Amino acid sequence: MKKVTFLITFIFVVSFLMFSGSLDARLPDLTVKKITVDRKCHLAVVVQNKGPGILPDYVYTKHHPKSAGVYVYINGKGWGGQSIWKFDPQRNLQQPGGVATYISRYVVGATPIQVKAVVDLHNDVKERVETNNSLGHRALRCKPAPKKLWITISGISQIHFWSSGGGTEELGIGGSGFGSSIGIKRVQVGPISLDASSVEEWLPDHIIMALPHVFPYAQTHNVYIKQSGVRISNIVSIFIKMDVTGLSPMAGSPGSTIQIGGIGFGATQGSLKVKFGTTEATVVSWADQMIQVVVPSIPPGSYPVYIEKNNTQVSTDKPFTI
């Protein structure tokens, strides 16, 4: 009798286990596949239904505080999350092997953070395996991709403008995407930021900006456009010359004194030289817009008068006749 009872019990247990196993085989299995960031450095959690069962409909149709979803811990503290029905409206997770991604509002920075993500925190869904619902990342960090530049500078030139009211140095900048007005944009020329007060002309494909008289001329400067302190164009370099605008008189003999008018000479001479052709002249006085020199002893003829630095011409020139 005992043997019969044992046999019946054994058969019952085996049948129950086989039946339970067949039920488990039809259950879904939610797991956190990956913790990552999107292109804007938002924290993202990739969830997968490893199957073999289908995720029940109620996961998508019944909404309550403990609905199956993703919950995130950041540096050991609960941060928040989102229900599956909200971040997987296409029901990708319902099918075995299906994948869906929860993208949070949390922006990951350059400083590493510890992240733990849990799917179905409150066990709303009966799963084939209940021990693989979480995943951790010990040092998640992100450096945002550079923003796409939406203004293109294709070329740049220096313009020497002179009128009865005086001279002005200007930059002509060609390209695309400038817009119809400067608005809150700024044109950065070396250390100087030019605003609307410097605009001579502003068109979608061409702009002209006036340079201030007090400016580091005779140097190479990077030029670009920015908005709210952020560069929004490519960078183009240009050597900006001093401008010799006139000589008084325009003719004379060696030993006479003449005045050289212009823009951007600087307050002091420093290492600058005034040349008549290839011959250096003696400087009598030096100011930002006026230089006095003695005409050197050279044969009769016409000579370009210009300013030189380190054996390089750094200004425009004007002809002088001996």
CATH value at residue 80: 2.60.40.10
Q: Does residue 87 sit in the same domain as residue 166?
A: no
Q: How many domains does the chain have?
A: 3
Domain encompassing residue 276 = 243-321
* Residue pair 151/177 in contact by the 8 Å Cβ criterion: yes
In the chain the first and final C-alpha atoms are separated, in Å, by 139
In the prediction, which pLDDT does 317 show?
95
Q: Does residue 65 sit in the same domain as residue 114?
A: yes
The H or E element that residue 58 is part of is: helix 58-61
The number of CA neighbours under 13 Å toward the Cβ of 112 is: 5
Give the C-alpha separation, 183 to 171, whole Å.
18
Q: Does residue 188 sit in the same domain as residue 123?
A: no
Residue 9 lies in a domain: no
Residue 213 lies in a domain: yes
Q: Does residue 256 sit in the same domain as residue 186?
A: no
Residue 77 lies in a domain: yes
Sheet holding 243-248, edge to edge: 243-248, 257-263, 290-294, 282-286
What's the Cα-to-Cα distance from 215 to each of 97, 167, 191, rounded to whole Å? 66, 14, 9
From 140, 168, 187, give the residue that closes a domain. Answer: 140
From 140, 169, 186, give the residue that closes a domain. Answer: 140
| One pLDDT digit (tens) per residue for the chain, 322 residues | 544 454 445 444 444 444 444 446 689 999 999 999 998 999 999 999 999 999 999 999 999 999 999 999 999 999 999 999 999 999 999 999 999 999 999 999 999 999 999 999 999 999 999 999 999 999 999 987 666 678 999 999 998 876 655 668 899 999 999 999 999 999 999 999 999 999 999 999 999 999 987 889 999 999 999 999 999 999 999 999 999 999 999 999 999 999 999 988 999 999 999 999 999 999 999 999 999 999 999 999 999 999 999 999 999 999 999 9
Q: Does residue 272 sit in the same domain as residue 216?
A: no
Q: Does residue 37 sit in the same domain as residue 128?
A: yes
Residue 11 lies in a domain: no
From 140, 171, 192, give the residue that closes a domain. Answer: 140
In the prediction, which pLDDT does 167 show?
66
In the prediction, which pLDDT does 147 show?
63
In the prediction, which pLDDT does 149 show?
72
In the prediction, which pLDDT does 162 show?
66
Measure the CA dihedral 21/23/26/28, to 10°.
-90
* Residue pair 61/158 in contact by the 8 Å Cβ criterion: no
* Residue pair 115/74 in contact by the 8 Å Cβ criterion: yes
In the prediction, which pLDDT does 15 show?
46
In the prediction, which pLDDT does 161 show?
74
Residue 111 lies in a domain: yes
Residue 17 lies in a domain: no
The H or E element that residue 9 is part of is: helix 2-24
Q: Does residue 272 sit in the same domain as residue 211?
A: no
Q: Does residue 134 sit in the same domain as residue 32?
A: yes
Q: In sequence order, what E strands does 12-164 have?
A: 30-37, 42-49, 69-74, 77-83, 99-107, 113-119, 134-140, 152-163
Residue 16 lies in a domain: no
Residue 301 lies in a domain: yes
pTM of the model: 0.55
Q: Which amino acid does the sequence have at 173?
A: I
Give the C-alpha separation, 321 to 289, whole Å.
22
Nearest 5°: the CA angle 162, 165, 170 is 40
